Amino acid sequence: MIQSNYKKKHKVMSTSACWKYFTKCDKSEAQCHLCPKRVKTGGGTSNLRQHLERRHPNRKSTNSSTDDSVCKNDTPVEEMDSSLTYTAQPTITTSIKSVQSYSSGGEKCKRLTDTVTDFIITDNMPFSVVDGRGFRSLMKFVAPLYKLPTRNTFKHHIDERYDKIAEMYKTKLNTVKSLILTTDIWTDHQMKSFLGITVHFLSDYKLVSATLGVHELNESHTADYISSKLKEILHEWNININCITAVVSDNGPNIVKAIHDTFGKNRHIPCFAHTLNLVCEKSISNTDSLLELISKIRAVVTWFKKSVTNSDSLRKQQLEKGILEGNIKKLVLDVKTRWNSTYHMCARFIEMAPYIINITFTNVNAPEMLTTIELEILKEVVTLLLYLRT
């Protein structure tokens, strides 16, 4: 017991600043690091301090004020031991409360769950991320006492968060006298159709936009059905139709009629970008020579994209010209319903024409390449489309 108490006291004493210049030899003496002198401790640090002041007044110290204040303290080791040991150790009650705060319903548990929920929402992560081994390993390292909830729990938390924010927006929308809606119908890769609707309004002279809903369309896209869906979304958000100043959509006949029937013809505004897209599409489709030129480009681009070998040849040719791996470019295939994608396809084709010519010239299965005159015409077309794009 005596030996144990001595070790405990010695550990406390060794934390004093004076002890960085001495090594404990036994119970009564310490060896100076700056000279061969052994100094008697006498149960305190007075002798150590006096030795340093007399023999080593010019000693370098990273914290002289701390050095002096600690060394001038002649408190016996026994008193230092009782006071320092008491404050260093947390109480049992504090330790229990800390552990309990990580249990379900505890303060730290709630804060961690809210933080993970924010992470899922902010980064648009799938719920399955909380089931991943890497994520669970990270959370176990960061908060070992925290039991990570299941994905269903996080779904519930996000639903609650949505309901809370939705109520706030409903209250906000009720105070706005003029609202503008944008709406469109789109189809995903599984051929499911959805009606999306977004609201826009001014708040403190700043434009605010929010998605009111994305509803799946389970019936034929008739004007009556689209109109009923629009009314359903407005009712869900307690929006009065009379507060709608304008509704923007594309020029699809069914959605245009639905808006006319729901809000009135005068409140419908055709989407300018969609109208511009139609102008470009009609201009190209009504010019036979230009249509044929773009068809040839599509054929070449498709040929490269369908072949790993051809795409790799395109990559190697760029590397041979000194282009870095991170700057390697690929050909772009346009989407017929987006005129600007046709511009990007043609512009990239011109940029990579030298590489394309080298590869297609040596491959008998390659589609017909553009002639020199056609490439010059294409450059003029790209210049014209550039003005429309900007």
Is residue 257 in a domain? Answer: yes
Residues 54 and 135 in one domain: no
Residue 240 main-chain phi, psi, to 5 deg = -80, 130
CA–CA distances in Å: residue 294 to residues 141, 298, 324: 57, 6, 30
Residues 361 and 385 in one domain: yes
Rounded Cα distance between 331 and 305, Å, is 8
Both tokens assigned to 25: 């030899």
pLDDT at 326 over 90: no
How confident is the model over 193-217, as a mean pLDDT?
93
User: What percent of the chain is predicted at pLDDT more than 90?
Assistant: 51
pLDDT band at 68 (very low <50, low <70, confident <90, very high): very low
Residues 230 and 212 in one domain: yes
Residues 293 and 385 in one domain: yes
Residues 148 and 181 in one domain: no
pLDDT at 187 over 80: yes
pLDDT at 172 over 60: yes
Residues 151 and 244 in one domain: no
Domain with 204, as residue range(s), is 176-270
Is residue 206 in a domain? Answer: yes
**Long-range pairs of 181-190 with CB within 8 A, sequence gap ≥ 24:** 181/244, 181/246, 181/247, 181/248, 182/247, 182/248, 182/249, 182/271, 183/230, 183/247, 183/248, 183/249, 183/255, 183/259, 184/249, 184/250, 184/255, 185/217, 185/221, 185/226, 185/252, 185/255
Q: Which of 228, 269, 262, 275 is nearest to 246 (CA)?
A: 269
Half-sphere exposure of 197 (CA within 13 A, CB side): 26
Residue-wise pLDDT tens digits, 261-283: 999 999 999 998 888 888 888 88
Please indicate whether residue 86 or residue 301 has the higher confidence score (pLDDT). Answer: 301
Residues 195 and 149 in one domain: no
Q: Which of 199, 159, 161, 157 is nearest to 179 (CA)?
A: 199
Half-sphere exposure of 330 (CA within 13 A, CB side): 14
Residue 208 main-chain phi, psi, to 5 deg = -120, 135
Asked if residues 249 and 280 have their Cβ atoms less than 8 Å apart, the reply is no
Hey, what amino acid is at 219?
E
Is residue 171 in a domain? Answer: no
Question: Which residues, other chains included, contact 202 with Cβ-Cβ below 8 Å and sequence gap of 6+?
Answer: 176, 178, 208
Is residue 164 in a domain? Answer: no
User: What percent of the chain is predicted at pLDDT more than 70?
Assistant: 83
Q: What is the pLDDT of residue 188?
A: 83
Q: What is the pLDDT of residue 23?
A: 83
pLDDT band at 22 (very low <50, low <70, confident <90, very high): confident
Please indicate whether residue 29 or residue 370 has the higher confidence score (pLDDT). Answer: 370
Residue-wise pLDDT tens digits, 107-166: 888 889 999 999 999 999 999 999 999 999 998 888 888 888 899 999 999 999 999 999
Please indicate whether residue 41 or residue 248 has the higher confidence score (pLDDT). Answer: 248
Residues 82 and 102 in one domain: no
Q: What is the pLDDT of residue 105?
A: 66
Residue ending a domain, choose from 62, 88, 114? 88
Q: What is the pLDDT of residue 61?
A: 45
Q: What is the pLDDT of residue 223?
A: 95
Rounded Cα distance between 182 and 229, Å, is 14
Q: What is the pLDDT of residue 142?
A: 85
Q: What is the pLDDT of residue 37?
A: 83
* Residue whose pair of structure tokens reads 């023999």 in the numeric block: 55
Query: Which of these ranges, 21-25, 82-86, 193-197, 198-202, has the smallest mean pLDDT?
Result: 82-86
Residue ending a domain, choose from 88, 116, 137? 88
Rounded Cα distance between 179 and 237, Å, is 13
Residue 360: count of CB within 10 angstroms of its CB: 19
Residues 10 and 30 in one domain: yes
Q: What is the pLDDT of residue 102?
A: 60
Residues 47 and 82 in one domain: yes
Asked if residues 16 and 49 have their Cβ atoms less than 8 Å apart, the reply is no
Is residue 81 in a domain? Answer: yes
How confident is the model over 240-269, as a mean pLDDT?
94
**b/e 108-141 (16+ beta carbons within 10 angstroms → b):** bbeebbeebbeebeeeeeeeebbeeeebeeebee
- For the chain, the average pLDDT equals 83
Rounded Cα distance between 299 and 306, Å, is 11
Is residue 170 in a domain? Answer: no
Residues 15 and 51 in one domain: yes
Is residue 53 in a domain? Answer: yes
What total number of domains does the chain contain?
Answer: 4
Residue 207: count of CB within 10 angstroms of its CB: 9
pLDDT at 55 over 60: yes
pLDDT band at 15 (very low <50, low <70, confident <90, very high): low
Q: What is the pLDDT of residue 283?
A: 84
Question: Which residues, other chains included, contact 78 with Cβ-Cβ below 8 Å and sequence gap of 6+?
Answer: 9
Is residue 335 in a domain? Answer: yes
- Ramachandran area for residue 330 (φ above 0: left; ψ -120 to 50: alpha; else beta): beta
Rounded Cα distance between 166 and 303, Å, is 49
Residue-wise pLDDT tens digits, 303-312: 999 999 999 9
Asked if residues 335 and 328 have their Cβ atoms less than 8 Å apart, the reply is no
Enumerate helices (H) and strands (E) in the chain, giving the number of each: 16, 8
Residues 266 and 292 in one domain: no
Residue ending a domain, choose from 247, 270, 293? 270
CATH code assigned at 219: 3.30.420.40
How confident is the model over 217-223, as a mean pLDDT?
93
